[in-house]
Structures are given as C-alpha cells and as structure tokens.
C-alpha cells in the first residue's frame, strides 16, 4: 500500500478525532490502519472467495467480529485511538468501505504475487 493512501486515510480519520496535535493523531490513526490492513485483506480475500461481490458486501462480511483484528495495533498506538479506528471501521459505512477497498486491493495484489 502506498504511503499516500495511508496518509489520506489517516487524515480522513483524524478529521473527526478531537486532538491538539492533529499531525501526530493522523500518523497514529494511519498506523492503526497499516497494522490491521493485512488481517482485513485476508478476510476480504476469504469473502471474495465465498462469492461476495462489491465493496459494501465485502465490508459487511469482514466487519463482523473484527474487534480482535485491531488488537495488534495496541502495541504501537494508545488504546483509545485503536478503539476509535475499530469503531469507525465497524460502524461508519464510508470509513468501513474505504478500508475495505484498501483491503481488497491488498488481497488482490497478494494473490497476483
């Protein structure tokens, strides 16, 4: 995944996050996505393999029980920020679909390798 994509996702997530240091917050939220994305890509690949089509359908399939996927990010980013991203992924269609699209792209690129 390009660092530009991560920056854009981090920026979008940071827009709704109350923080005095928006640059650091953006980087930390992007780091959460970076850590979690490979696991989301695995789930996206599985969903696609099961016949799910379209970003929304894949998102609905992979968001179920996704909380555990965010646990590794707790080693690098404070808990409240990890929970924020996990919640946005699971409950906000726009954020969920953006992250799912990135996961699908990653899954497809890994399949090609």
Per-residue model confidence as pLDDT tens digits over 28-62: 999 999 999 999 999 999 999 999 989 999 999 99
Instruction: Give the residue numbers spanning the domain of 17.
Output: 3-112
The Cβ of residue 27 has, within 10 Å, a number of other Cβ atoms equal to 16
103: tokens are 């996961």
**DSSP code, position 50:** T
Q: Determine contact, residues 32/77, Cβ cutoff 8 Å.
A: yes
Domain count, the chain: 1
Prediction pTM value:
0.89
Closest listed residue to residue 91, CA positions, set 81, 83, 80: 83
What does the alpha-carbon distance between residue 32 and residue 77 come to, in Å, rounded to a whole number? 7
Mean pLDDT value of segment 1-19? 81
pLDDT above 60 (res 1): no
């Amino acid at each position: 995944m390009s660092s530009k994509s991560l920056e854009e996702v981090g920026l979008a997530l940071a827009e709704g996050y109350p923080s005095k240091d928006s640059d650091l917050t953006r980087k930390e939220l992007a780091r959460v996505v970076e850590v979690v994305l490979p696991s989301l890509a695995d789930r996206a690949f599985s969903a696609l393999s099961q016949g799910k089509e379209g970003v929304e359908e894949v998102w609905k399939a992979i968001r179920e029980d996704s909380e555990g996927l965010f646990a590794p990010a707790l080693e690098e980013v404070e808990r409240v920020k990890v929970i924020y991203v996990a919640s946005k992924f699971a409950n906000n269609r726009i954020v969920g679909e953006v992250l799912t699209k990135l996961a699908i792209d990653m899954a497809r690129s890994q399949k090609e390798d």
